Structure 1
Amino acid sequence: MGRNKSNFVDLCQGDFGRKTAYTGVAQITTENVVQVLSDTIGTHNRNRMMINYLYRYYKGDQPILYREKLVRPEVNNRVVENHALEVVKFKAGQIYGEPIQYVCKKKKADKKINEQVDLLNDYLDEANADARNIQLGIYQSAVGTAYKAILREDDWTKDRDLPPFRIFIPYPGDVYIVYSRNTGKAMLSVQILKDEENQQYYLCYSSNQYFKIKNGQVTVSGINGFGGIPIIEYPNNHDRLSDVEIAITAFDAINKYQSDRLNGVEQFVQAFMKFKNCEVDENEFLKMVKLGAISVKDAGNGVQSDVDLMTAELNQSESQVAKDDIYNNMLIVEAMPNRQSNTGGDTGNAVYLRNGWDFAERDAKLVEAFTKEAEKASVRIILNIIRKTSNDVKISTRDFDVKITRNPTDNMLVKAQALDYLFKNKIHPLIALITCGLFSDPQKVYEMSLPYLGTVYPELANPDAEMKKAQELIKDFSQKSIQNQSATISSTGEE
């Protein structure tokens, strides 16, 4: 890999985002897989250049480090304020900072399904899914897309704690997915690997087969037993734009401002000495510098001699204002909250809105939709592996929902007060638990709390009958909420 000596705009020529590889074939077979690979590898190679650049940029390899200075080249500070790292860590934390959970969504209460969903969550915990997801989130934010590979665990046995599957996050520059041009369906995954002799080959998976391609030929092929393509793409957004590249020119400008400010200070301290109407040889000058004093004589004939420092100090306060303006605009583009302090008198919600946390939340919801879609595709492969090994999780993705939790303790006191108010006004407990926003899985909280709620609400003494009633209530509540939102949008559009 090279160094990021040039800027990103020159590299991508203004064509931002990662390109998607498409094919027009209806089915991938042994006869056409090499041609499909040949037709799409060019798209990936272009993406790979951008991915390498952006990932190195996120880690701190930025163009300012290679800047050359023509005037006084010895005063050339190169400072990286790695705000790209700040952005990527914030964005990854928004989605993957809290563990992704699977929660039951069945209309009818089913204790067995809840137990099965809990068992699936336990499997993922043993597979260190949280750590792998954080790694995936960093790739996703830094380069615009990421991939999750679900593999079989070769060391799995029924008597060991290891799950029968393993989660692997490959480097995005070594993987890509080929999609159908007509339907948008994932047709083929391609991994660029090296064998024991350091020879490159391609490992490809379609929904039914796998292929090992080397030197333009299929050397190995067989049936894909995963029940689908075991490598799933997690795009950062529809255009696969990186959170780094959308503000990369601002990052470069901040680096330049900070480096030039240090240059200004250093040039002021190491200012040139000007001798007017007098001659001093090098040895004499060094002696005077060592003594810390300089003595000169007038040249005569009314010509005055003088020694002075050539200084021009940079206005640091004005530079700071310009730098802060760039930084604040970068935060707006990235939908990140600022660091403004509370001046007093603000409520928690006022600070939440003023400092940009509301915009950050809305932006995270846009990424969340793509993450949920990819996460369900990953779980389908995991469930298929479990069925063929331990066979103790017998549910499908229709039985549960993907729950991404963010900041559950924000305004916790306000939420708790709202819950108490709803309880006192005889709102059904399940509706109250969902509305207050305190819990990532309000249904499970409701089920676990039924014995205690029954002491407050005698009508909850029969949990089974009450759970059926609660499920019907929550279904109606969700439908009415959607209808109200649709009505609001329609009325706003008419206005």
Structure 2
Amino acid sequence: MQKDVNFLGGQRFDKEANKIYKVPVDKLPKRDFLNTSTNQVEEYVDFESEEFKKVLIDFINHHKEKQVPRLEELKRYYMADNNIKYRADKSPNRADNRIASDYAAFIVEFKQGVLLGNPVIYNGNEAIIKRTEEFSNKNNEDYHNQLMALDDFIYGRAYELVTRNEEGVEIVTKFDVTETFIIYDTSNARNSLCGVRCYPIEFNNVITTVVEIYANDGFLYVFETESADLENLELKDGYPEEQFFNAVQINEWINNEDRLGDFEKVLDKIDAYDLSQSEMANFQQDSSEALLVIKGNPDTFKKADGTLDKEGVDYAQKSRMLILGDKKQNGDGTQGAESDAKYLIKEYDVQGIEAYNDRTVADILQFSKLVDFTDENMGGNQSGVGFRFKGWNSDNDRKNKERMITKALMRRLRLLTYSWSIKDNLESDNHENLYDLVNDIVIKFTPNVPQSDKEVMEVIKGMDGLVSDQTIYEMAERLTGVSAEEESKRVDGELKDRLSESFEFEKKVEVEEVEEDVQEV
């Protein structure tokens, strides 16, 4: 990281730091492939051609030069390594504290915890849900989603690879955003043409640059070069390699349509807060090291010959005591000022600085779409409508994030189901039916927010008789910890037991009545 960043001045990132890479497919060379599932010859881009390699190299260089610097700076802020650390040095004789706040991590981790603190739930076709749960258990999907959301909220984008391992089991893994990007076509649908991952490998003091292309033709292309010059890229032996997926395997999560991070718009506010806190610390330090002004007798600490009495200075410092002489008697009969000594310090507007800091923090929370936790009325008694209104902006942001993540999860499911369909040897017509079932999957998010159990119970009571029992069970799940499906089974079991007990009781009564009749006879 270079010193002397452009601190609170000018444009922070390159204008193309968030550019989406697109290419007109009709202008790229093509090659024919036989689709083994349909036995049809299909036309795809020739990813081994020199024309495509040139486009690829241009995008890789652009990504490194224009986009990676932004991603690295956002990561620094998440790690509380803010630009205040790199502003121009002050005079060596002045305090130069550089205090970085951790608001970037607070914003990201708060939103991550609220949105995905509870695992997402899939509802739909039982066969697909069963396989999805198996995939989730094998890949620790809940934790993986947390990692993806973290990147998504920091950088505005995140990348994962859906593939098979050596045993043929579907797995998902997160890719580094500084090494990964997607190339799309220029159609209105913005279909992904391929996913690119470019990274270095160092071995025996030799750095090899590796470029992986996960193409929409279902193959993986791996190029290598043992120099930094990408012009020397060569296809690695054994590639292209079939991947058993019918689409680009790199799945992109986006935070919003502009692919902005959650704290990106308040970076200047964070810098302003860091500067205020740092200058406050500088003031305190400079005050303790302030200049001592002695007025009225300039001969203090002077010897008869006019030189400085260093022993007198040392004594005053050690004893914490200063003895001033009388007024200076001038030769013309006039006198100097009254003897006095004081430190030369600036006036400090405590209330003004505190008000400025409070306003800055409130702006950071508001503009990053968080509830203002500094509001003194947050913990007070207020109507439910008033409290919800305070969190309205945050709730809208959460719902938008749910939509964006749902889009990414559904694409992941489509990739997985295609791989599963190949294993099951499904015909092409059945692929379409399978996609219809996938599209009917509903993904449910449960916000991880504090809530009064008593209020939830009151709501459940009020809903009784108005909604189905299944809905009641789902609402009660957050209180009991028992899934709606399990609760339904328990209730059905208890009902059967009661009916059985009731039947046995009635049967017993009938037998006793018959025995009494027999005795009377």
TM above 0.5, one fold? yes
Instruction: Give unmatched runs, 5+ long, in structure 1.
Output: 105-112, 158-163, 459-495
Query: Given residue 21 of structure 2, which amino acid in structure 1 is its aligned partner?
Result: A
Q: Please state if 1:270 is matched with 2:285.
A: no
Quote the Cα distance in structure 2 between the aligned partners of 1:8 and 1:114: 55
Higher mean C-alpha displacement, 14-23 vs 431-440: 431-440
Quote the Cα distance in structure 1 between the aligned partners of 2:196 and 2:8: 26
Q: Please state if 1:294 is matched with 2:322.
A: yes
Query: Given residue 299 of structure 1, which amino acid in structure 2 is its aligned partner?
Result: K
For the 8 Å contact 2:120–2:444, the answer to whether it is kept is yes
Quote the Cα distance in structure 2 between the aligned partners of 1:371 and 1:405: 13
Quote the Cα distance in structure 1 between the aligned partners of 2:104 and 2:341: 47
Query: Given residue 382 of structure 2, which amino acid in structure 1 is its aligned partner?
Result: D
Query: Given residue 21 of structure 1, which amino acid in structure 2 is its aligned partner?
Result: Y
Quote the Cα distance in structure 2 between the aligned partners of 1:334 and 1:13: 19
Quote the Cα distance in structure 2 between the aligned partners of 1:35 and 1:16: 20
Shift of 1:350: 4.4
One of 189, 193, 207 as aligned partner of 1:198: 207
Q: State the partner residue of 2:148.
A: 136
For the 8 Å contact 1:103–1:441, the answer to whether it is kept is no
Q: State the partner residue of 1:327.
A: 361
Q: Please state if 1:153 is matched with 2:171.
A: no
Aligned length: 439
1:12–1:78 CA distance, 2 compared to 1 (3 A): closer
User: What is the RMSD of the two structures over their aligned residues, measured on CA atoms?
Assistant: 3.4
Instruction: Give unmatched runs, 5+ long, in structure 2.
Output: 27-43, 225-229, 302-307, 500-521
Q: Please state if 1:28 is matched with 2:45.
A: yes
1:14–1:52 CA distance, 2 compared to 1 (3 A): closer
Query: Given residue 469 of structure 2, which amino acid in structure 1 is its aligned partner?
Result: P
Shift of 1:452: 6.2
For the 8 Å contact 1:87–1:243, the answer to whether it is kept is yes
1:85–1:120 CA distance, 2 compared to 1 (3 A): same
One of 70, 95, 101 as aligned partner of 1:81: 101
Shift of 1:224: 3.5
Quote the Cα distance in structure 1 between the aligned partners of 2:138 and 2:243: 25
Quote the Cα distance in structure 2 between the aligned partners of 1:134 and 1:446: 28
Matches within 5 A, 1:83-232: 83-104=103-124, 113-114=125-126, 116-154=128-166, 156=167, 164-182=169-187, 183-195=189-201, 196=203, 197-208=206-217, 209-214=219-224, 215-216=230-231, 217-220=233-236, 221-222=239-240, 223-232=242-251
User: What secondary structure does 2:207 align onto?
Assistant: coil
User: What secondary structure does 1:172 align onto?
Assistant: coil
Q: State the partner residue of 2:469.
A: 429
Q: State the partner residue of 1:473.
A: none
1:345–1:282 CA distance, 2 compared to 1 (3 A): same
Query: Given residue 400 of structure 1, which amino acid in structure 2 is its aligned partner?
Result: I
Shift of 1:442: 8.8
Shift of 1:446: 7.7
One of 310, 314, 322 as aligned partner of 2:344: 310
Q: State the partner residue of 1:463.
A: none
Higher mean C-alpha displacement, 139-148 vs 59-68: 59-68
User: What secondary structure does 2:448 align onto?
Assistant: coil
Q: Percent identity?
A: 17
TM-score of the pair, normalised by structure 1: 0.78
For the 8 Å contact 2:3–2:88, the answer to whether it is kept is no
1:412–1:103 CA distance, 2 compared to 1 (3 A): farther
For the 8 Å contact 2:214–2:248, the answer to whether it is kept is yes
Q: Which of 1 and 2 has higher RCO (CA within 8 Å, sep 6+)? A: 1
Shift of 1:251: 0.3
Q: Please state if 1:362 is matched with 2:396.
A: yes
Shift of 1:381: 2.6
| Higher CA-based Rg | 2
For the 8 Å contact 1:144–1:236, the answer to whether it is kept is yes
1:419–1:145 CA distance, 2 compared to 1 (3 A): same
Q: State the partner residue of 2:76.
A: 56
